[in-house]
Structure 1
Amino acid sequence: MSRLLFVHAHPDDETLATGVAILHHVERGDDVHVLTCTLGEEGEVIPADLAHLEGAEGDPLAVHRRAELARAVAVLGVTAHLLGVRADGDVPAYRDSGMVGSRAFGHPRALAGTELAPVAALVRSTVDEIAPDVVVTYDPQGGYGHPDHIRVHDAVRLALAEMASAPPLLVTLTPRSWVAEDRAWLAAHVPADTGYAVPSPSDPVAPSVVDDALVTHEVVDPTVVARQMEALRAHATQVVVGDGWFALSNGVVSRLAGREGYALMDPRTGELVRGVGEKRRGLLAGDA
């Protein structure tokens, strides 16, 4: 049995960004851990009956999203950790930063606004405790540029770079060809009367979308999509789940295709480790 650690900024990121890999390795019998660094206090609430939680004094959204996270990780079958505390303990050391320029970004506990070294030290303590065979987090741009995602990437890199014998680091990347396929699928399968927007072939792509050759690891497992959708439904404040797709507060749909791409990264240099030959089918060294 192998052990994997996924490090994320907010509740729901674990299922949105890496749910396929998590479920794939759980179903293989691996020991999977998720470290969440904030409680997503600045999340944009979708359901009208929960809108009163957004931006309310005392951060009631954090309490609600913590419960959502607990339900989601129970579906995923992983061991959950919060940065700086146990999953059943007090609040994490840091708070959701919101976007650059927001009032939340200036909060004294904002994750992205604090010094990097203390964040990395807390990540390092979790890595030391769990002793994973591989650590997984965002690409250097945090998937789509969220400052908390970028801070988590940087903290994971620093934590591993300072270890004498660090586990391999994998970052999330999406092959460009998959984006084209997914947009075509969405156009064919998402009814126009849903009220959600389907991205066109010419719409911009996220910074995490790269040329196919840069992706060294692929997890392709359509059998886990039903459970991924169940876990996403636990995050009801943040995600709307359709038949094979989801939408966030921006109203743009994304496909749940049962596949995710990753690449090995050198934590000391930040350089991607180029693959040789066929991509690995899984995240561990022995995966063919």
Structure 2
Amino acid sequence: MSAQTIIFILHLVLAALYVPLVLNLIKRHAGLETSATFLSVYVLIGLFLDIAEGMWRGGLLYIASPQIANDFQIYGALTLSFILLMTVLSFVRRDVWTWVGVGVFWVLGLVLIGLNIFRLGDVIWQTGLFTLTSERLLPVWAALGWFVFTISGIVNVRAAHNSSKLPLFRNRLNYWVPVFLLIILNDVLILVGSPFPGNPIRLAAAALGSYIIVTHDPTDLREVARRVLTYIITTLVIVSFYVAGFSASQTVFNALPNYNPLLVGAGIALVLSLIFTPLLTVIRRWVNKWLNI
């Protein structure tokens, strides 16, 4: 089996992970049918983009150059950012038609640029460090649209969160922030020309978005953040303490004739085991204060 075939199979496996999300979203969700429909479309497009990328990387789909392949990913990111914005607007019960008009405007811009209606020259804008050519104007316009739709989605989520008085709804809105952060991380890699094969970060964002829609009362995000931060900080402190203690012991005791690094390491581990519980308590209290829990 060739390497290209293996790559294609791996992309198919990744694409298959989108299917349970679609099946979960097509169930009826009282009051959120429109959001579920939009996110289902998002998931399906992500699935087909993954398959198409797998076919290209597997040698089954011809694309003239990696640059053109990446441009297609930029157009895909633009499309998905618009659909995610529609999902969020439906979720927070806001009017979508204004943004539908903006989306039509952006598509019209793509068409006009693609057909070169304005008869632009080869070089559109040039500075000492940057040159925008007519050849790159289309993906740049798409990237700008991605930015507009993505930031608008975040703004609408935070505005709805600030205006809502319902604790459960506010908690669900909090979950959209990591969704957008994952999307930004995934798509920025595409925009800079270094996409992660298969875009698994996008899959994670879609899975989290699906969880928000299908779960009426998700776990308090602040509680999740508290636990994660507590254990991350505790782990970092313990590792730092161990490394610092072991390094210091080598500096101080290395000249001794009976120096035993295993014994020193065991001693440091014993000290860490004794201070772990009070250290965890202190860090948990600090994190709670920081998160206002």
TM-score tier, shorter chain, comes to under 0.3
Give me the TM-score of the superposition, normalised by structure 1.
0.24
Indicate the structure with greater helix content. Answer: 2
TM-score, normalization by structure 2:
0.24
Q: If each structure's strand is expressed as a fraction of its own residues, which one has the higher value?
A: 1
